[in-house]
Structure 1
Amino acid sequence: MHSTTKARDRLAIALDTSDLGTALALAKAVQPHIGVAKVGLQLFSAAGHDAVRAIQDLGMDVFLDVKLHDIPNTVYGASTVLGSLGVQYLTVHAAGGKAMLQAAVKGLEEGADAAGMPTPTVLAVTVLTSAPDATPALLNERLADAVTANCGGIVCAATDLPVIRNTAPDILTVVPGIRPTGSPVHDQQRIATPAEAIHAGANILVIGRAVATAEDPAAAAEAIAAEVAHVI
């Protein structure tokens, strides 16, 4: 039972829809097996703060995946607002540079403090999983910026984990592009099975269409949680 609980904390479901009702139905279905709900640009654009609150009401952590990327002052301003929502994770693009990442960290801290909320973890997105392989030099450059800016974690492909773990063994790693064996690849170029990603050093796995489009999402989520529980 203990390992299953740990597995649940290490899985995030991507709620990639513009309909809040559809998103909540999926979240409720997988909630026994997946502890984190990822709210991306599509759902946040459609339902905004209401989506965050509704998921929190289900007892799930919220991973707000809006990938902020702008001048530092603009990112700071947006982060103070987003920091007040009580989300656990917020993504920003590492390509924005060290000053922008620092602005996000500062804004989230101040916004959370003002709202009496815990400070969310800033996740610096290194290279998108839809992109071709990143060079170790580019990964290390973006990783160094994230570490210097005090970002709590990064988002990277499973194939990038060996480079990441060699440079920053203790940083939180969030890995999308997870596909159970036999699942379609879709538009992700750099993918891994749940067990492969965990073995490579992933902390949190983001699961999307492999569960969302399954005939029985709850059963698909349960199978992935069982696979993760077996290897952690």
Structure 2
Amino acid sequence: MEHVLTLVIRVEKTARPEQTDALEAAAHAVLAILADDRSTGEGEWADAMTAWQDHRIRKVVRRARGAEWHRAEALPGITVTHGTAELRVFPPVPLGDVPKDLAKLQVTGTDFDQPEPPAVPHPQTPVLWINPALHMSSGKTMAQVGHGAHLAWLALSPHHRKEWAASNFPLAVRTAGRAHWTQLLQTTFPVVQDAGFTEIDPGSRTVIAEHPDLRTW
């Protein structure tokens, strides 16, 4: 049975997250739940995480404010705060069993601004590079960078996973230049290919996860 992992970002009327913070928070949240003790071994979320990862690693991003957010906070999950963004990730559930307080939250039309260009990442910082040729909403892009972080995690050795988690998952999310994207496609870094259910064509390559521990040169 297919499962889905839900991410809910807090968007208040007078406090909206910035685009880069929202994207990086989504990546952090996915990594946090993957690394959580409850997700492995005999942990309470372990069976659900296994069932989810045995199929497509489907992720849905929703938004909440006010009482909606506080109801979401009351459900089992992990809250991540990153700059202007506050986001909560919930353990996967079968598609038809998403909790009512999450299922009723809006999933479309989530878009954020980026007032200032983000800084150039340090050369040793893992970067989730977004395809510059695609036009995706903020919510869609959050799901894609979540996939990118997930694929990077799966590609790392247990030792490098432990190191990344111990340092609180440093990472950056940036949009690649067109020439840079072409170069990235020639590497062995994990590439996200979207199923094409929303916004973009099936098979679109959306994100490439560049992690220093996955470099082969």
Same topology, TM > 0.5: no
Larger helix percent? 1
Q: TM-score, normalised by structure 2?
A: 0.29
Q: TM-score, normalised by structure 1?
A: 0.27
Larger strand percent? 2
Higher relative contact order (CA 8 A, sep 6+): 2
